Structure 1
Amino acid sequence: MKPTRIPDLVVLLVFATAATWLLVRVFYGQLPPIPVYAGASLYPVAVVEVIAAFIIRSRVNNHEIGDGLRQLHPITAARAVALAKASALVGAASAGVWLGFLLYVFPQRDTLSAAVADSTGAIVGLAAGVVLVVAALWLEHCCKAPEDPPDEPAH
């Protein structure tokens, strides 16, 4: 499986930003208020992924890979990579949605009182999306198999 490509995440972020900005521009008056915790649901996922990354990294570095009791099963590592790849996409899309929302709302803060209240929730959501992408990329990195040492020539 190939590693997640940053340009792919950037394209998704830009697309989500543009689409959200257009939708918010048209429908902002019909949207409910954005609570501060609206985008915060991604933070616990990021925390779990960071914890998993450190556990997996430790097991990989200590060559504790296998099907033993205290070993990292290869299928578990593969599942962690799949989770990381999916989370990176979700984080990039979510960050794009909140960024698109902010790009419309932030300039409106002087004229719309709702924009002031909505900005805080959008900033929390944007940060959560970015944090999830970083955690997912870290988890994916920690799941890499260690490099094999070069074979020494026979003397």
Structure 2
Amino acid sequence: MGPTRRRDLVFVAAAAAIVGYLLVVWLYRWFPPITLWTGVSLLVVAGAEAGWGYVVRGRVRDGRIGVGAGRLHPLAVARSVVTAKASAWLGALVFGWWLGVLGYLLPRRGIRIPHEDIPGSVVAALCALALVAAALWLEHCCKSPDEREQPRDAAPE
């Protein structure tokens, strides 16, 4: 399993934005109001992942990986990588969705209902972007120190 490629996340976000825009065009009249709290749950998850990234980074840097008191179990690091990858993909997908919603709302900002939904959509999109950033940070923190210093195109020894 390799590192998450940013180009793949951008592609997923763009595809989700296009599909999201088309769905919003057809279904917007049935949407509930979009409040400022709509995407905040993603920000909570992003904060938790970023905080966990700092913990993992400190323990990896200090060599406290292994079994024992005060050490981080290697399976916990592996699970953290899987969580980070899943969160990055989910964040990119949700970010694309909110870009699609904003693509529909911004040209209609003179109309009362879409105008009221714009701030909540912007906050949700930013929270999804924060989740992507936190997930990529956590994934980076799970790398061993030797792996971080090695250039991407360097051949393994």
TM-score where L is the length of structure 2: 0.91
Unmatched segments (≥5 aa) in structure 2: 150-157
Residue number in structure 2 paired with 1:138: 137
Residue number in structure 1 paired with 2:89: 89
By how many angstroms is 1:9 displaced? 0.4
By how many angstroms is 1:104 displaced? 0.5
Question: How many residues matched?
Answer: 148
* Partner amino acid, structure 2, of 1:74: P
By how many angstroms is 1:147 displaced? 0.7
Give me the whole-angstrom Cα distance separating, in 2, the residues matched to 1:116 and 1:36: 13
* Partner amino acid, structure 2, of 1:132: L
Residue number in structure 1 paired with 2:4: 4
Give me the whole-angstrom Cα distance separating, in 2, the residues matched to 1:109 and 1:116: 4
Residue number in structure 1 paired with 2:153: none
Residue number in structure 1 paired with 2:76: 76
1:74-105 CA distance string (max 9 Å, x none)? 00000000000000011001100111000110
Deviating above 3 A after TM superposition, structure 1's stretches of 4 or more consecutive aligned residues are none
* Partner amino acid, structure 2, of 1:126: A
1:111-133 CA distance string (max 9 Å, x none)? x1011110011001100110000
By how many angstroms is 1:35 displaced? 1.5
By how many angstroms is 1:22 displaced? 0.5
The share of aligned pairs that are identical, in percent, is 43
Give me the whole-angstrom Cα distance separating, in 2, the residues matched to 1:34 and 1:63: 46
1:30-67 CA distance string (max 9 Å, x none)? 22211211111101100110110000000000011110
Give me the whole-angstrom Cα distance separating, in 1, the residues matched to 2:93 and 2:7: 13
The structure whose Rg is larger is 1
- Aligned-residue Cα RMSD (Å) equals 1.3
Give me the whole-angstrom Cα distance separating, in 2, the residues matched to 1:55 and 1:94: 26
1:11-42 CA distance string (max 9 Å, x none)? 11011100010111122222221121111110
